[in-house]
Amino acid sequence: MDRQHKDPNFVLPPSEYLPEGFKLHIDHKTTSKKSYLLPPSDAEIDRLHIQHYSTRQIVHGNFNAPVEEDLETGIKVLDAGCGSGIWTIEMAEDYPNSTFVGIDIADMYPKTGDLPPNVRFLKANILEGLPFEDGKFDYVFQRFLIFDLSPGDWKVAIKELARLVKPGYVGS
């Protein structure tokens, strides 16, 4: 089937390209994403974990930003689009002097259980503004939102992430 359509306003029904049983949870009336692309499930959490471990192996660690010493001393870190929370939890365990906040549009992160004391999770949509004051974080991390945001959404997301990072600090 040809995926191109001559009408620029045409929206292809998502079910044509997804495996049976999956459906997109996107409000096509706006460009802003309102919910997670795939159904939140144990299988999706497993997929996110595989993606995390694969990426960690490829890039030789959980981050490449020059923040190692700061993390050891203790800083505030935002994981924007934390998914299952695996990166946030690993970082909180590795850097107990730092505080980690994971946010995601879907609440697939752990809500109870044996979480490190320096981590918390919050369901929030970066496109609707995040409930933090300006300059709240020393390090803002995100890595897979590229697959979820339109070019117009990126302008909003980058502006919001830049608002949250302290001047002179790091976003990656």
| 3-state secondary structure at position 163 | helix
Sign of CA dihedral 51, 161, 59, 146: positive
Q: Does residue 153 fall inside a structural domain?
A: yes
Residue 10: other Cβ atoms inside 10 A: 8
Backbone phi, then psi, for 64, in 5-degree steps?
-125, -5
Residue 58, in any domain of the structure: yes
| 34 occurs within a structural domain | no
**Structural domains of the chain, count:** 1
How confident is the model over 64-97, as pLDDT tens digits?
Answer: 888 999 999 999 999 998 888 889 999 999 999 9
pLDDT of 120-133, one tens digit each?
Answer: 999 999 999 999 99
Give yes or no for a contact between 118 and 96, defined as CB atoms under 8 angstroms apart. Answer: yes
The one-letter amino acid code at 89 reads: I
pTM: 0.73
Domain that holds residue 76: 42-171
In a domain? residue 17: no
